[in-house]
Amino acid sequence: MEDGLYHLRIDTPVGPLQISGTTQFINAVSFTDEPAVDFPQAPALLLDCAQQLYEYFAGDRKIFELPIFQEGTEFQQTVWQQLTAIPFGHTISYQQLARRINNPKSIRAVGTTNGKNRLAIIVPCHRVIGSDGSLTGYAGGLWRKRWLLEHERTDLFTGLM
């Protein structure tokens, strides 16, 4: 199988997800409301990603073990790396995330970068909430963010680390 870009669509409790990637990396996991599309046979890596997502939704997986890659600046890569360090069932604020990257004045840039994350759930941007514990923006919609946090049994108002 050549190393082009492949897609796989799966049904989940929070609606359809489209997994995109190559034979070497998962590049995107995106919520979609588009009608189903028939994609050519997906490579093993995308099938493994789908299996790990099914395990996550079944409550059997807390950590993803997949090679991932998304294009971004050095700042964006740093923020996304920090997102993967937020433990399952915990939340942090945008302000805390900015502090973790040793750039406490970058709260807005951290929020913007969080919103550009293309690897929903796997790079858990849903675990970042407002300083007051409120749910703030999520590319998949706030109802999905709430569902994911409840699925992870997070106390939305006292879960700040």
Which residue numbers are catalytic? 125
E-only strand ranges, the chain: 6-10, 17-21, 26-31, 92-93, 128-129
For the chain, what is the largest distance between any 2 Cα atoms, rounded to a whole number of angstroms?
Answer: 49
Neighbours of 33 (CB within 10 A): 8
3-class DSSP state of 160:
strand
